[in-house]
């Protein structure tokens, strides 16, 4: 008999839900990991025969737990975590123009972005997210915090027609973006993409320049699109065609493009999405809170469009909890399609994992627990009273889980949370720092 292979991480759990193959539930299995990569998934009784821990290796025996691929939050504005609860219960345009943009004008800086990203990333790890896509100013700060935290991310370079604290306009944003692409071209964790904000804040020329640079670097593009009926109506008034058609004309829609929101969809939009291979990122709680409209996810998915899931920024949600987002998505899909079979618990989990990885162009590396993929993994303690009895762990996880039950998180094979204790970030410091920012931002709005 051959000697057991040395490995550095073994995660043994009561249930493993790999997402691929679909609808698979493995009982009393273990995930074997070495140097950040999944080597095998096998019954616990067979582990010792084939594998043994290296000297520095760690084994987790999680007998009351379910293990799933780490969740992927496909759209956020992480630094806006510092503005959560700052201006609630107002419509999108008022919210942006009267509250959020003025506050950002007063406070956004490299420091604001660094601290806000740290707060957001800590919250995401604590709620089982192992990868997120971001769109905000000073993206170099967010990217750096990802490395510090061991977090995977697609960080996009914001592009819009007007000046901000980060730059004077599209030319400068894109120039800075090219620098970031160069810095992170070999990063294991951070992918740099482009984030032209929305059709109503980005001119044709700026979109074209973004597409040219994205092509050159093979970089993904993420943009807000068809968030509200107002946006579509105004877009048609300004250019004579739907914003989706305008973006297509400008070459924006490709298999590397993520269209965020898409609450206004007609037949022509579905055709465009299918023919270009562009992805949809669904943000149900943000759409509900801003009364933006409803993305018809059931229709899109049945048509064959890839739909990923996201929280959007904390200021319009107000959290970054992908468990609550899965539940909202599953419930809302049933209401919108008037079909209780729409978006099952398993489909909601796939939307929050594999579909996210596909949208971000990283499904060869993450999004499911499969041999050869990176070990981005989340464990959930299932012994909580509210979860009993358990007939179907995926159903419990989507419909009645509290994300406080997330116990362990690994990213790229690194333990970033163990028994709810963050391993790479200082939670107490992050809380104190967020409270300080709260005081500063409150004082700023009183002076204004
Ligand atoms: Zn957004």
Calculate mean pLDDT across residues 313-330. Answer: 95
Residue 210: give its domain's CATH number. 3.20.20.140
Distance 75 CA to ligand 1 centre (A): 6
Range of the structural domain that residue 221 is part of:
71-359
Distance between CA atoms of residues 176 and 172, nearest Å = 6
pLDDT band for position 167 (cuts 50, 70, 90): very high
Calculate mean pLDDT across residues 99-110. Answer: 93
| Tens digit of each residue's pLDDT (9 = 90 or more) over 405-431 | 999 999 999 999 999 999 999 999 999
pLDDT band for position 448 (cuts 50, 70, 90): confident
Distance 83 CA to ligand 1 centre (A): 14
Q: What's residue 93's pLDDT?
A: 84
Question: Strand 257-261 vs strand 221-225: parallel, antiparallel, or unpaired?
Answer: parallel
21: Cα within 13 Å, side-chain hemisphere: 2
Distance 167 CA to ligand 1 centre (A): 20
Structure-token pair, residue 435: 């409270």
pLDDT band for position 90 (cuts 50, 70, 90): confident
Distance 36 CA to ligand 1 centre (A): 31
Distance between CA atoms of residues 145 and 200, nearest Å = 30
Residue 9: give its domain's CATH number. 2.30.40.10
Q: What's residue 115's pLDDT?
A: 98
Distance 230 CA to ligand 1 centre (A): 16
Question: Which residues are registered as beta bridge partners of 221?
Answer: 194, 257
Regarding whether 77 and 62 lie in a shared domain, the answer is: no
Calculate mean pLDDT across residues 327-354. Answer: 98
Distance 316 CA to ligand 1 centre (A): 9
Mean per-residue pLDDT of the chain: 96
Regarding whether 184 and 292 lie in a shared domain, the answer is: yes
Q: Is 132 helix (H, G, I), strand (E, B) or coil?
A: strand
* Least trusted range by pLDDT, from 11-15, 124-128, 313-317: 313-317
| In-domain check, residue 416 | no
Distance 16 CA to ligand 1 centre (A): 32
Q: What's residue 4's pLDDT?
A: 93
Closest Cα to residue 417, out of 128, 37, 154, 57? 128
| Tens digit of each residue's pLDDT (9 = 90 or more) over 16-52 | 999 999 999 999 999 999 999 999 999 999 999 999 9
Distance 202 CA to ligand 1 centre (A): 15
Distance 174 CA to ligand 1 centre (A): 20
| In-domain check, residue 442 | no
Distance between CA atoms of residues 85 and 98, nearest Å = 15
Are the CB atoms for 301 and 334 separated by under 8 Å?
A: no
| In-domain check, residue 318 | yes
Closest Cα to residue 343, out of 373, 312, 289, 300? 300
Regarding whether 41 and 60 lie in a shared domain, the answer is: yes
Q: What's residue 295's pLDDT?
A: 97
pLDDT band for position 184 (cuts 50, 70, 90): very high
Distance between CA atoms of residues 58 and 94, nearest Å = 51
Distance 223 CA to ligand 1 centre (A): 8
47-51, Cβ contacts within 8 angstroms, sequence gap of 24 or more: 47/10, 47/12, 48/4, 49/1, 49/4, 50/4, 50/5, 51/4, 51/5, 51/6, 51/7, 51/10
| In-domain check, residue 58 | yes
Q: What's residue 1's pLDDT?
A: 59
Q: What's residue 356's pLDDT?
A: 98
Distance 407 CA to ligand 1 centre (A): 28
pLDDT band for position 334 (cuts 50, 70, 90): very high
* Least trusted range by pLDDT, from 61-75, 350-364, 388-402: 388-402
Regarding whether 383 and 348 lie in a shared domain, the answer is: no
Distance 139 CA to ligand 1 centre (A): 15
| In-domain check, residue 245 | yes
Regarding whether 133 and 54 lie in a shared domain, the answer is: no
Distance 195 CA to ligand 1 centre (A): 10
The tally of domains found in the chain comes to: 2
Structure-token pair, residue 113: 């972005």
**Domain closes at, from 332, 359, 386:** 359
pTM metric for this prediction: 0.98
């Amino acid at each position: 008999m051959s000697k057991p292979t040395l490995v550095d991480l073994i995660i043994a759990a009561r249930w493993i839900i790999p997402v691929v193959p679909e609808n698979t539930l493995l009982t009393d299995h273990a995930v074997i990991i070495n140097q950040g990569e999944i080597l095998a998934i096998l019954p616990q009784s067979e582990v010792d025969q084939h594998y043994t821990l290296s000297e520095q290796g760690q084994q987790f025996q999680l007998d009351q737990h379910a293990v799933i691929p780490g969740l992927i939050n496909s759209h956020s504005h992480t630094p806006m975590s510092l503005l959560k609860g700052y201006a609630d219960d107002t419509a999108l345009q008022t919210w942006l123009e009267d509250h959020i943009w003025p506050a950002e004008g007063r406070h956004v800086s490299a420091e604001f972005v660094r601290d806000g990203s740290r707060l957001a990333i800590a919250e995401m790890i604590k709620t089982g997210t192992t990868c997120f896509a971001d769109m905000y100013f000073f993206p170099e700060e967010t990217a750096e915090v990802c490395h510090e935290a061991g977090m995977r991310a697609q960080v996009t370079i914001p592009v819009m027609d007007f000046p901000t604290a980060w730059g004077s306009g599209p030319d400068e944003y894109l120039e800075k973006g090219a620098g970031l692409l160069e810095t992170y071209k070999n990063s294991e964790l951070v992918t740099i993409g482009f984030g032209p904000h929305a059709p109503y804040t980005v001119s044709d020329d700026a979109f074209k320049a973004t597409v040219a640079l994205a092509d050159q670097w093979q970089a993904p593009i993420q943009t807000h699109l068809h968030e509200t009926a107002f946006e579509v109506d105004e877009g048609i008034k300004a250019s004579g065609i739907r914003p989706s058609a305008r973006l297509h004309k400008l070459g924006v829609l490709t298999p590397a493009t993520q269209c965020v929101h898409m609450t206004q969809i007609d037949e022509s939009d579905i055709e465009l999405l299918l023919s270009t291979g562009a992805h949809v990122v669904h943000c149900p709680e943000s759409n509900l809170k801003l009364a933006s409209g409803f993305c018809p996810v059931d229709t899109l998915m049945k048509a064959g469009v890839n739909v990923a899931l996201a929280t959007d920024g904390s200021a319009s949600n107000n959290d970054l909890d992908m468990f609550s987002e899965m539940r909202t998505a599953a419930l809302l899909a049933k209401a919108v399609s008037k079909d209780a079979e729409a978006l099952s618990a398993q489909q909601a989990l796939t939307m929050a994992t594999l579909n996210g990885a596909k949208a971000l162009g990283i499904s060869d590396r993450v999004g499911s627990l499969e041999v050869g993929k990176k070990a981005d993994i989340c464990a959930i303690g299932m012994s909580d009273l509210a979860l009993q009895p358990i007939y179907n762990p995926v159903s419990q996880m989507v419909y009645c889980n509290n994300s406080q039950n997330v116990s362990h998180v690994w990213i790229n094979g690194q333990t970033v949370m163990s028994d709810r204790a963050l391993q790479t970030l200082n939670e107490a410091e992050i809380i104190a720092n967020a409270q300080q920012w709260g005081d500063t931002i409150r004082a700023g709005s009183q002076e204004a």
